[in-house]
C-alpha cells in the first residue's frame, strides 16, 4: 500500500518534470543573483545552501501535492490561499487543466529526510520548481511558512509580462529543536473574541508555533460553556478585570477555534485553573467554595484568595463533568489544570486535590499539565510540569519523570513590561526588553535540568492589563517572534545581532497583518 503511494507520487513528479521540460513556449528568464542564506527567516532554519538564482512565482506557477488523504492537499490549499490574499495571485492546486504552466511547487510526503521529526521538512528551490519534502503534513505546513517568508513584498515587473515574485534558490534542511512550541493567552482576566484569538493564532502559525494554551478560567471570569453547569457562563462569564462585560465561548465556538488552529497544525490546550483562581466558578456555584468567605464577583487583579473545597465530593463530581465536556471537544492530548498560586488551600488539601484531579484527567483520556506547584503532589510520570517560578519544583518533576514546559516568568512572560515606560504589562518578575527576551537558553536556564526532560517552550500572556488585539499585540510582538526562534532553532545558531536584522525583515508582514508591535529602540526598524 505504502509502496504504491510512493510510486504514484514519484510517477506524478516524473510526469510533471517531463511536462515542464517539454513546454515549447517556455522562456528562458535571466534571473538576478540572490542569496538564500541572507533571507530574513524566523525561526532560522538548521541548514541553508544558496544557489544564487531565483524561482519566479507568477500566474504560470501551479501547486501540486500528494493526494493520498494525508493532509498534504490542505497544506497546498493553505499556501494558495495565502498567496491569493497577499499577492492577489491565483495559483491552482492539483489542477492540470491549464497548459501554460511553467513552474511548479510540489509538496510531497517522503520518508527519506535526515530527520524523522514529524515537523522536519526540506525545501529544494530551483529556477523552475520548488520541491517541499516532509514526513507529515505538519512538516509540510512548517515548510510553507518558510516559503511564505521568502516571498518578497514587491514583484519584479520587468522579467515577464505579468508580475513575478522572486524567491531565492537553494536548499533548506530544517527541523525543530523542541517538539512543543507554545503561546498562552489568558482570556479570563479579560475576554478576547473568537476573531481576536484567531488573528493571534494566525500570526503564531507564521512563526511555526504548534501549541496554543488557553487560560479559560480564573477569579475574574469563566469563559467556556459547560452544558451540565450552565451558571458558570451565565454568571461567571459576565465579569472581567475592571468591571467590563466579560464573555465566553460556546462549545461550538470553541470547536471552531480548535479547527482553525488545527488547520494551522496548532493544538489548543485548554486550561481550567484550580483549586485556586476559582472565584468565578464558586460565585456561580457556591457549593464549590472552600475559603469560607462570602462570595462576590471579582474584578480586581489580586491572586491567591480563592479555593475549591478539596474535601467535598461535589467538587469532584463537578470537575468530572467539566473535564468530560471539555475533553470531548478538545483533540489535544493535554488538559491543563492550572494548580498555581493556591495560597488559600492548605498544602495537604492541595496535594489531595491535584492527585484526585489527575485521575479525572486521565479517566477522560488526557495527559495532565499543571503549573510548577503540582510537583508537590505524587503524580504519574506521564503528566507535564510547566515551569514558571520555582526551579526546585521543575527539578523535582523531572526526577519524577515528568516532562517540563519552560515558561520562566523572568524571561518568557509576554505580560512583563519592556521597561518602566511600557504602556501595558506588569513587572513583578522583571522588565523584559526585546533583547533580554531573546538572549537566554531554555535548555540551560534551570541548572540541573537536562534537555531530555524539556518538552519545549511556552510564552504566556496574562491579561490583567490588556483587553483587545491592539494591546495584546503591543506586549506579544516582537517578543513572541523571538520565542519562536528559541523554541525552534538550536542555541548554537542563534545570535542577537543576526536576529535583529531578520526581525527588521518582519516589518512588512507585521504591517500587512496590521500588528501593533512595540517599536523598541534596540532595533533599527528604518533599515
Of positions 119, 173, 341, 358, contacts ligand TNX by CB under 6 A: 341
Q: Which member of 196, 240, 341, 458 is catalytic?
A: 341
* Site residues (CB under 6 A) for ligand TNX, limited to 459-478: 462, 464
Q: Are 150 and 34 in contact (CB under 8 A)?
A: no
* Site residues (CB under 6 A) for ligand TNX, limited to 34-93: none
The number of residues that bind ligand TNX (CB under 6 A) is 10
Is the Cβ of residue 55 or residue 350 nearer to ligand TNX in the bound state? 350
Q: Convert residues 422-461 into a mask of x (bound to ligand TNX by CB under 6 A) and - (unbound).
A: ----x-----------------------------------
Place of cell 511600557: 422
Q: Convert residues 377-396 into a mask of x (bound to ligand TNX by CB under 6 A) and - (unbound).
A: -----------x--------
User: Among this protein's residues, is 153 annotated catalytic?
Assistant: no
DSSP string computed for 240-271: -GGG-----B-HHHHHHHHHHHHHTT-EEEEE
Query: 315: phi > 0 → left, psi -120 to 50 → alpha, else beta; which?
Result: alpha
Q: Are 523 and 477 in contact (CB under 8 A)?
A: no
CA distance 282 to 285: 5
Return the bridge partners of 171, or none: 49, 124
Q: Are 508 and 527 in contact (CB under 8 A)?
A: no
Q: Cβ 341 to ligand TNX, closest distance in Å?
A: 5
Is the Cβ of residue 102 or residue 464 nearer to ligand TNX in the bound state? 464
Q: Cβ 32 to ligand TNX, closest distance in Å?
A: 49
271 binding ligand TNX? (CB under 6 A):
no
Beta strands in 66-161 (DSSP E): 103-109, 121-125, 129-134
List b or e across 364-393, with b for residues whose CB sees 16 or more CB atoms inside 10 angstroms. Answer: bebbbbbbbbbbbbebeeebbbbbbbeeeb
Is the Cβ of residue 151 or residue 426 nearer to ligand TNX in the bound state? 426
Q: Cβ 123 to ligand TNX, closest distance in Å?
A: 38
CA distance 266 to 287: 37
DSSP string computed for 89-109: ----BS----TT--EEEEEEE
Cα dist. 131→16, 64, 109, 355 in Å? 12, 10, 11, 49
Q: Cβ 11 to ligand TNX, closest distance in Å?
A: 54
Is the Cβ of residue 300 or residue 331 nearer to ligand TNX in the bound state? 300
Q: Cβ 36 to ligand TNX, closest distance in Å?
A: 40
Whether residue 43 has a cis bond before it, omega within 30° of 0: yes
Q: Cβ 316 to ligand TNX, closest distance in Å?
A: 23
Is the Cβ of residue 57 or residue 272 nearer to ligand TNX in the bound state? 272
CA distance 112 to 94: 23
Q: Cβ 392 to ligand TNX, closest distance in Å?
A: 16
240 binding ligand TNX? (CB under 6 A):
no
426 burial (CB, 10 Å; 0-12 / 13-18 / 19+) is: middle
Q: Convert residues 397-416 into a mask of x (bound to ligand TNX by CB under 6 A) and - (unbound).
A: ----------------x-x-
Is the Cβ of residue 54 or residue 412 nearer to ligand TNX in the bound state? 412
Is the Cβ of residue 191 or residue 260 nearer to ligand TNX in the bound state? 191
Cα-flanking dihedrals φ and ψ of residue 207, to 5°? -105, 20
**Residues with catalytic roles:** 341
Interaction site with ligand TNX (CB under 6 A): 303, 340-341, 371, 388, 413, 415, 426, 462, 464
Amino acid at each position: 500500500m505504502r509502496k504504491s503511494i510512493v510510486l504514484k507520487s514519484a510517477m506524478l513528479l516524473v510526469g510533471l518534470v517531463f511536462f515542464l521540460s517539454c513546454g515549447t513556449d517556455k522562456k528562458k528568464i535571466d534571473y538576478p543573483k540572490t542569496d538564500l542564506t541572507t533571507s530574513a527567516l524566523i525561526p532560522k532554519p538548521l541548514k541553508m545552501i544558496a544557489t544564487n538564482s531565483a524561482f519566479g512565482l507568477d500566474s504560470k506557477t501551479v501547486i501540486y501535492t500528494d493526494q493520498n488523504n494525508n493532509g498534504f492537499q490542505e497544506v497546498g490549499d493553505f499556501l494558495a490561499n495565502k498567496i491569493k490574499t497577499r499577492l492577489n495571485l491565483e495559483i491552482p492546486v492539483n489542477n492540470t487543466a491549464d497548459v501554460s504552466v511553467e513552474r511548479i511547487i510540489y509538496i510531497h510526503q517522503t520518508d527519506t529526510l535526515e530527520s524523522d521529526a514529524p515537523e522536519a521538512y526540506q525545501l529544494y528551490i530551483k529556477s523552475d520548481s520548488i520541491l517541499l519534502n516532509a514526513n507529515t503534513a505538519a512538516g509540510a505546513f512548517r515548510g510553507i511558512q518558510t516559503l511564505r517568508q521568502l516571498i518578497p513584498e514587491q514583484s519584479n515587473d520587468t522579467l515577464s509580462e505579468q508580475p513575478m515574485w522572486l524567491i531565492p534558490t537553494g536548499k533548506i534542511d530544517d527541523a525543530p529543536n523542541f517538539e512543543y512550541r507554545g503561546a498562552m493567552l489568558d482570556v479570563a482576566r479579560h475576554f478576547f473574541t473568537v476573531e481576536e484569538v484567531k488573528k493571534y493564532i494566525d500570526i503564531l502559525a507564521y512563526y511555526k508555533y504548534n501549541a496554543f494554551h488557553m487560560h479559560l478560567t480564573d477569579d475574574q471570569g469563566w469563559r467556556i460553556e459547560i452544558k451540565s453547569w450552565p451558571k458558570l457562563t451565565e454568571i461567571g462569564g459576565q465579569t472581567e478585570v475592571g468591571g467590563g462585560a466579560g464573555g465566553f465561548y460556546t462549545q461550538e465556538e470553541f470547536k471552531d477555534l480548535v479547527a482553525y488552529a488545527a488547520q494551522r497544525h496548532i493544538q489548543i490546550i485548554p486550561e481550567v485553573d484550580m483549586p485556586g483562581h476559582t472565584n468565578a466558578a464558586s460565585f456561580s456555584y457556591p457549593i464549590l467554595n472552600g475559603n469560607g468567605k462570602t462570595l462576590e464577583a471579582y474584578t480586581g487583579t489580586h491572586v491567591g484568595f480563592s479555593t475549591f473545597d478539596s474535601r467535598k465530593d461535589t467538587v469532584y463530581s463537578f470537575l468530572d463533568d467539566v473535564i468530560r465536556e471539555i475533553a470531548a471537544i478538545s483533540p489535544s492530548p493535554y488538559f491543563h489544570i492550572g494548580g498555581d498560586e493556591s495560597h488559600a488551600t492548605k498544602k495537604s488539601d492541595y496535594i489531595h486535590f491535584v492527585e484526585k484531579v489527575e485521575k479525572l484527567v486521565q479517566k477522560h483520556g488526557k495527559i495532565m499539565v499543571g503549573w510548577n506547584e503540582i510537583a508537590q503532589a505524587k503524580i504519574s510520570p506521564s503528566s507535564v510540569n510547566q515551569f514558571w517560578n520555582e526551579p526546585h519544583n521543575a527539578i523535582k518533576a523531572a526526577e519524577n519523570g515528568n516532562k517540563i514546559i519552560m515558561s520562566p516568568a523572568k524571561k518568557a512572560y509576554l505580560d512583563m513590561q519592556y521597561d518602566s515606560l511600557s504602556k501595558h504589562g506588569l513587572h513583578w518578575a522583571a522588565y523584559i526588553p526585546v533583547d533580554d527576551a531573546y538572549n537566554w537558553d531554555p535548555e540551560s536556564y534551570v541548572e540541573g535540568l537536562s534537555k531530555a526532560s524539556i518538552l519545549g517552550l511556552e510564552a504566556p500572556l496574562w491579561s490583567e492589563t490588556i483587553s483587545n488585539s491592539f494591546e495584546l499585540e503591543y506586549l506579544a510582538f516582537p517578543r513572541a517572534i523571538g520565542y519562536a526562534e528559541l523554541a525552534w532553532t538550536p542555541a548554537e545558531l542563534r545570535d542577537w545581532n543576526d536576529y535583529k536584522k531578520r526581525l527588521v525583515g518582519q516589518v512588512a508582514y507585521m504591517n500587512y497583518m496590521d500588528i501593533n508591535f512595540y517599536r523598541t529602540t534596540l532595533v533599527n526598524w528604518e533599515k
